[in-house]
A and B are shown apart, each in its own frame.
Chain A
Amino acid sequence: MRLLIYLSLGMMVMFLAFWAYRENYQTQEALRDVEKLQSEIGRLGAGIRVQEAEWAYLNRPNRLRELTELNFERLQLMPLAPQHFGNLEQVAYPVLPILGQITDTVELRGQLPDDEGDISTTTGQQP
């Protein structure tokens, strides 16, 4: 009996030692991973900052003004002026597209409820 206890205790110690050993190395591996990821985040962050700086540089008002002047014929952009403000009524509704010729119609038969909830039978052709 005593032997069995000693044996099982010994096994347990060995198992725990093995577990601790593995955990230790896994933790170290995870830490290395985190460090690597953090340095990558840092690198990408620096990259983003460079991109942002470039975006700001390319969108500087001076350059945009020169570009609109260069491309005036195509873009017709003007500095915003008081007369550019308008009323809502001045905005035209979009022209509705004219329906093309309806082809490939399928014959349908069904029932549509009218306002009172009664069902009336209609026949129609639906495209």
Chain B
Amino acid sequence: MSRVPLRPLARILSARQKGEDHKAIENENKHQRMLAARGRQRQMAEGRLLIASICFAAAFIAVGAKMFILSTTEAAEPRIASTDAKIYPQRANIVDRNGRILATNLSTYSLYAQPQMMTDPETSAVELAEIFPEIDAQKLLADFTGGRKFLWIKKKISPEQKQLVHDIGDPGLLFGPREMRLYPNGKLAAHVLGGAGFGREDVHSAEVIGVAGVEKTFDEFLRDPAQQGAPLELSIDMTVQDASAQVLQGGMKIMNAIGASSVLMNVKTGEIVSMVSLPDFDPNLRPPPTPAADPTLNPLFNRALQGVYELGSVFKTFTIAQALDSGLKTKDSVVDTRSPFVIGKYKIKDFRNYGTELSVEKILVKSSNIGTARIATEIGAERQREFFKSLGLLDVAPVEMVEAHGGRPQFPKKFSEISTVTMAYGHGIATSPVQVAAAYSSILNGGLRVTPTILKTPSVQPGPRVVSEETALTMRKLLRKVVLEGTASFGEVAGYDVGGKTGTADKPDPKGGYYDDKVIATFASVFPASDPQYVLIVTLDEPSETSSGEPRRTAGWTAVPVAAEMIRRIAPLLGIRPVIEPGPGFGIIQAKSSSQ
């Protein structure tokens, strides 16, 4: 038997002495102890609950507070993560194929006014007009006193001008930082680059956006921070571009032309190495587009890309190439050239009478319309259309410039018999010089189609075949003969083996019909003809050569000498060594390989 202590001992002992039952006391005591223990447990449980609820509340408050902070504060850049990040300009540079800068950014300032802060609007207006001669003091004063709260005075000012404005000392004249686009070479390649302007702007910064040329086409690329400031590399060679522009400017003046353009294309890659259009402009001060009577006279108009012209006899090359390639003719086949050649109600004549018959070679060398027209009738409308299409003459030139879409070729929807005949010698179809350059390149590089591009492309996928290699070889020889014996005799440049085809087309009169005394003279040339590397198209608008007293307008007298001078200047710059032309009877003979 176990001994259990009697509790509460004092009361039990006294109760025992009195003879009372101690059990009741003991039970009561047990009951009270139990109640006390239960109270303690309850307190503990409550305490635990409290701690748990505090923990939960703290967690929810922390999450809530973080959410509140995130939603109310502005996002800061993670500074530690960006330690190796460089700071790039807002807009990437544009460089030529050798990495020389064509367009870059410069930090400058804009000038704005808050008239309500100005102390002396009259003096400020007068002094500002002195600093910026193009500002009218009266108009400025009216703006200052007219209740306006804010106005731009100049979007771009130089540091010197900033200092001068600072010296006026008016607290209402304020400066904001600006990035401006700078074209350090001025007018050089103006049509290719286009120009830039400001997009959305405020006092602290402004968006620089491209408004024309590659600046507009590659606007997103140039502004993309992910490119890390990588420049846009063009296929243009700055030195060649400058030399071409200089020669063309001189040629345009001597030949009394109102406009001129030249395109130099790499025959293998389709890269446009130089593209000149005159008159030109300074992209730093891009003139506003003026709604002129004739948009083609606007300096902003890119004749090489936007100007679609009937280019005349340069198209004979395509007709003859097709005739040779399809096996219809060989270069020695004889074609009837009796004048006039009547088709429907039209009579086709030659510049001169070339007798009753000519070989295909002579047709190209002497540029006989009748001969080409007869060949075209044999080719037929459908095949001609397909061939022109394969050369890219019927589609917009896929050059990466917004202006390319302005140069949509014009030709009849339906190739009728008469249109086939006229298109064979370049009438009734209007194309841009760039398209002709690409078509000549495609034929002469060995017969693989090239796509014209303004971007540096060191290697390209070979395009689909347009003519056979054999035809390409024959065409090179024929074009060389045009220079040696034919209409382009002024095109000879010693050592550079120039080949080419002239084209003189009457200019269409907007009132209908053609002008008698206005022509477009074109020379499509290739050099060196023995191993073609570049195609050069020179086009003069309304040239007339007057050295002999009588105006001469044919391309042979106008466009050809200009192109020859251009080749003399640019071929050495392109690194082409002058070669002694292989004499007749020498050269590479095509041998059939034994495996075939």
Q: Residues on A close to B: CB < 8 A?
A: 31, 34-35, 38, 41-42, 45-46, 49-50, 52-53, 56-57, 59-62, 65, 79-85
**Which B residue's beta carbon lies closest to that of A42?**
B87
Give bound CA distance, A80 to B239, whole Å. Answer: 11
Distance (Å) between the CB of B574 and the closest chain A CB?
A: 10
B328 within 8 A of A: no
Partner pick for A56 among B79, B83, B107, B185, CB 8 A cutoff: B185
User: Beyond A50-B107, A61-B242, is A85–B101 a contact (Cβ under 8 Å)?
Assistant: no
Chain B 478-502, CB-CB to A under 8 Å as 1, else 0, gives: 0000000000000001111000000
- With contacts A34-B79, A49-B104, A53-B101 taken as known, whether A82 is within 8 angstroms of B578 at the C-beta atoms is yes
Determine how close the nearest CB of chain B comes to the CB of A68; give it in whole angstroms. 13
Beyond A79-B569, A82-B578, whether A53 also contacts B182 by CB under 8 A is yes
Across-interface contacts of A81 in B (CB, < 8 A): 568-569, 572
Residue of A31, A35, A82 near B493 (CB, 8 A) is: A82
A53 and B184 contacting across the interface, CB-CB below 8 Å = yes
Write the chain B residue with the least CB distance to A35.
B79
The answer to whether B418 has its CB under 8 Å from any CB of chain A is: no
Q: Are A41 and B572 interface neighbours, CB within 8 A? A: no
The 20 sampled A-B contact pairs (Cβ below 8 Å) are: A35-B79, A38-B82, A38-B83, A38-B87, A41-B86, A46-B89, A49-B104, A49-B106, A53-B105, A56-B100, A56-B101, A60-B185, A60-B186, A61-B239, A61-B242, A80-B572, A81-B569, A82-B568, A85-B572, A85-B577
- A residues within 8 A CB of B242? 61-62, 65
Q: Is B571 an interface residue (CB 8 A)?
A: yes
- Say yes or no: is B438 at the interface (Cβ < 8 Å to chain A): no
A interface, over-half SS: helix
Query: In this assembly, does B188 line the interface, its C-beta being within 8 Å of a C-beta of chain A?
Result: yes
Docked-complex contact B188 and A61, CB < 8 angstroms: yes
Alpha-carbon distance between A98 and B242 when the two chains are bound, in angstroms: 46
Whether the pair A62, B185 counts as a contact (CB closer than 8 A) is yes
Q: Of B79, B185, B496, which one neighbours A31 at CB under 8 angstroms?
A: B79
Whether A52 contacts B104 by the Cβ 8 Å rule is: yes
Measured CA separation A84–B569 after assembly (Å) = 11
Query: Given A34-B79, A60-B184 in contact, is the A41-B101 Cβ separation under 8 Å?
Result: no
**Chain A min CB distance to B503 (Å):** 26
In the complex, what distance in Å separates the CA atom of A79 from the CA atom of B493?
16
Residues of B within 8 A of A53 (CB): 101, 104-106, 182, 184
Q: Measured between alpha carbons, how far is A52 from B185 in the docked complex, in Å?
A: 13
Q: Which residue of A lies closest to B241 (CB)?
A: A61
Q: Determine whether the beta carbon of A85 is less than 8 Å from that of B578.
A: yes
Asked if B573 is at the interface of the complex by the 8 Å CB criterion, the answer is yes
CB distance from B332 to the nearest CB of A (A): 33
The A-contacting residues of B in range 181-206, CB under 8 angstroms, are 182, 184-186, 188
Residue on A nearest B95 in the bound complex, by CB:
A56
Contact A82:B89 (CB < 8 A) given known A52-B104, A56-B104: no
CB distance from A90 to the nearest CB of B (A): 13
Q: Decide if B238 is an interface residue (CB 8 Å cutoff).
A: yes
Residues of A within 8 A of B493 (CB): 82
Chain A nearest CB from B283 CB (Å) reads 13
Q: Are A41's CB and B188's CB within 8 A?
A: no
In the bound complex, do residue A82 and residue B83 qualify as a contact, i.e. CB atoms below 8 Å apart? no
Most buried by A among B87, B107, B246, B569: B87
User: At the interface, yes or no: B591 with Cβ under 8 Å from chain A?
Assistant: no
B80 adjacent to chain A (CB < 8 Å): yes
Candidates A41, A49, A79, A82; contact of B243 at CB < 8 Å = A79
Which of chain B's residues 228-249 have a Cβ closer than 8 Å to chain A? Answer: 238-239, 242-243, 246
Chain B: which residue is nearest A61 at the CB level? B242
Beyond A80-B573, A85-B572, whether A45 also contacts B101 by CB under 8 A is no
B185–A61 contact, CB under 8 A? Answer: yes
What separation, in Å, do the CA atoms of A61 and B247 have in the docked complex?
Answer: 14
Asked whether, in the complex, the Cβ of A31 is within 8 Å of the Cβ of B243, the reply is no
Closest 10 CB pairs between A and B?
A: A61-B242, A56-B184, A57-B184, A56-B101, A42-B87, A82-B578, A80-B572, A60-B185, A53-B104, A82-B495
**Residue numbers in A under 8 Å from B186 (CB-CB):** 60, 62
A41 surroundings in chain B (CB, below 8 A)? 86-87
Say how far A87's CB is from chain B's closest CB, in angstroms.
Answer: 10
Q: How long is the Cα–Cα vector from A105 to B83 in the complex, in angstroms?
A: 64
Give the Cβ gap from B351 to chain A, nearest Cβ, in Å: 32
With A56-B100, A61-B185 known as contacts, the answer to whether A82 contacts B572 (CB < 8 A) is: yes
**Complex CA distance for A45 and B83, rounded to whole angstroms:** 15
Q: Assess whether B101 is in contact with A82, with CB atoms less than 8 Å apart.
A: no
B89 & A49 in contact (Cβ 8 Å cutoff): yes
With contacts A38-B87, A46-B107, A53-B182 taken as known, whether A60 is within 8 angstroms of B572 at the C-beta atoms is no
- Alpha-carbon distance between A84 and B494 when the two chains are bound, in angstroms: 13
Closest residue of B by beta carbon distance from A46: B107
Closest partner residue, chain B, to A27 (CB atom): B80
Residues 82-108 of B, flagged 1 when their CB comes within 8 A of A and 0 if not, give 110011010000000000110011110
Closest chain-B Cβ to A48's Cβ sits at a distance in Å of 11
Contact A84 B107 (CB under 8 A): no
A81 and B184 alpha carbons, distance in the complex (Å): 26
Judging by beta carbons under 8 Å apart, are A45 and B184 in contact? no
Closest-by-CB residue of A relative to B106 is A53
Chain B residues closer than 8 Å to A34, beta-carbon distance? 79-80, 83
List the A side residues contacting B577 at CB < 8 Å: 85
Is there contact, CB below 8 Å, between A45 and B104?
no
